[in-house]
């Protein structure tokens, strides 16, 4: 999925999670049949019934580390991360259950880029199909593996297929750039992205506003830091539980002035209900002298907010 211009907005139009971004290049036909990525015409791997119940894991994937490096196509940089299948993680689980198992151990589902790197590190990863956090189609997710590392499929949110797992990774964005591709620069970009992601998920308006310039464009609205903090406080009252995951970004973030834009998956739970909502969107950030003048400026929406 190619990166697009990004930005996160705070304020009256809603939290960073009230925005969704178009990831048109991510759209793939929905399918629960895994086929080799190199040839969709190859024989499909049969799927088990979607009603299959979660099972005790039939595969063990111990924790391994992937070193910092570029994806196989040399287009995106991913900083070093660890991956594993927790002992508590079920197989045959839906996307939501698989992701919750990863979050329970302080991680998240691997992105497709991370999964590919993990499979390069340990080919046994490819033997079993796994959910990823990478969206596919209007209401689905990329599934990788199921025999070999090249296997790829798309599946809808609720599809629980026997044998499918959810490989867990430390959060890292896959970052591309048209400028300086030195590893030190790419690692710096990851640091900027990580700081913004953590602040956005902190539940503390002050953690966000301390990143802002005295006056900034926040969620498309020009406001002071004080105004932004009030808007964020209101947002967190409406949605006490919020989370944003940046999984693929384009960055020009080497010095005190820069920008990055990211494809993101956001979740939130309204104060009035315990039903979580999800959206997929694209946002842009710009900073000058390390202070954000544009924060979470939405550029497109791939999937509007809805229960999941």
Chain CA centroid to CA 30, Å: 19
Cα–Cα distance measured from residue 84 to residue 61, given in angstroms and rounded to the nearest whole number: 6
CATH no. for 16-20+173-307: 3.10.450.50
pLDDT digits (tens, 9 = 90+) for 176-218: 998 899 999 999 999 999 999 999 999 999 999 999 999 999 9
pLDDT band at 8 (very low <50, low <70, confident <90, very high): very low
For the record, the structure tokens of 100 come out as 């919750």
**Cβ–Cβ < 8 Å for 266, 243:** yes
Mean pLDDT for the chain overall? 84
Helix/strand/coil for 49: coil
For the record, the structure tokens of 173 come out as 């964005």
pLDDT at 257: 95
pLDDT: which is higher, 186 or 46: 186
Question: Among candidates 69, 291, 278, 22, which has minimal Cα distance to 156?
Answer: 278
Bin 296: left if φ > 0, else alpha if -120 < ψ < 50, else beta.
left
**Cβ–Cβ < 8 Å for 122, 206:** no
pLDDT digits (tens, 9 = 90+) for 262-297: 999 999 999 999 899 999 999 999 999 999 999 999
Cα–Cα distance measured from residue 300 to residue 41, given in angstroms and rounded to the nearest whole number: 32
In the chain, where the domains are located: 16-20+173-307, 26-39+50-169
pLDDT at 234 over 50: yes
Helix/strand/coil for 69: strand
Question: Among candidates 301, 198, 205, 182, which has minimal Cα distance to 253?
Answer: 182
* Mean of pLDDT values over 149-169: 92
Question: Among candidates 235, 236, 241, 216, which has minimal Cα distance to 226?
Answer: 216
**Percent of the residues in the chain that have a pLDDT greater than 90, as a whole number:** 72
Question: Rounded to two decimals, what is the model's pTM?
Answer: 0.83
pLDDT band at 58 (very low <50, low <70, confident <90, very high): low
pLDDT band at 157 (very low <50, low <70, confident <90, very high): confident
**Cβ–Cβ < 8 Å for 29, 140:** no
pLDDT digits (tens, 9 = 90+) for 112-143: 999 999 999 999 999 999 999 999 988 899 99
Q: Given CATH 3.10.100, say whether it is the number of domain 26-39+50-169.
A: yes
pLDDT at 137: 84
Q: The tokens 């002071």 sit on which residue? A: 224
pLDDT digits (tens, 9 = 90+) for 68-100: 999 999 999 999 999 999 988 889 999 999 999
First to last CA, the chain: 22
């Amino acid at each position: 999925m190619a990166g697009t211009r990004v930005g996160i907005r705070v304020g009256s139009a809603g939290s960073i999670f009230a925005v969704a971004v178009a990831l048109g290049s991510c759209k793939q036909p929905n399918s629960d049949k895994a086929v080799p990525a190199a040839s969709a015409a190859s024989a499909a791997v049969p799927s088990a019934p979607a009603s299959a119940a979660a099972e005790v894991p039939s595969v063990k994937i111990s924790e391994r580390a992937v070193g910092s490096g570029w994806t196989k196509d040399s287009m995106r940089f991913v900083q070093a991360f660890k991956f594993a299948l927790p002992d508590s993680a079920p197989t045959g689980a839906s996307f939501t259950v698989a992701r919750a198992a990863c979050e329970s151990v302080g991680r998240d589902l691997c992105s497709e880029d991370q999964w590919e790197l993990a499979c390069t590190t340990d080919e046994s990863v490819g033997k079993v199909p796994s959910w990823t956090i990478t969206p596919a189609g209007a209401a689905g997710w990329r599934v990788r593996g199921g025999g070999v590392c090249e296997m790829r499929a798309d599946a809808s949110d609720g599809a629980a297929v026997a044998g499918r797992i959810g490989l867990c990774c430390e959060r890292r964005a896959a970052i591309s750039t048209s400028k300086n591709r030195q590893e030190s620069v790419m690692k710096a970009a990851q640091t900027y992205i990580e700081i913004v992601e953590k602040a956005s998920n902190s539940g503390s308006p002050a953690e966000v506003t301390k990143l802002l310039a005295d006056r900034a464009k926040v969620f498309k609205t020009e406001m002071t830091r004080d105004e932004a903090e009030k808007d964020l406080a209101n947002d967190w009252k409406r949605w006490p539980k919020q989370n944003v995951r940046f999984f693929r970004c384009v960055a020009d973030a080497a010095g005190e002035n820069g920008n990055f834009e990211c494809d993101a998956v956001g979740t939130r739970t309204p104060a009035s209900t315990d039903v979580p909502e999800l959206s997929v969107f694209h946002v842009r950030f710009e900073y000058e002298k390390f202070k954000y003048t544009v924060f979470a400026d939405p550029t497109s929406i791939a999937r509007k907010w809805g229960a999941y």
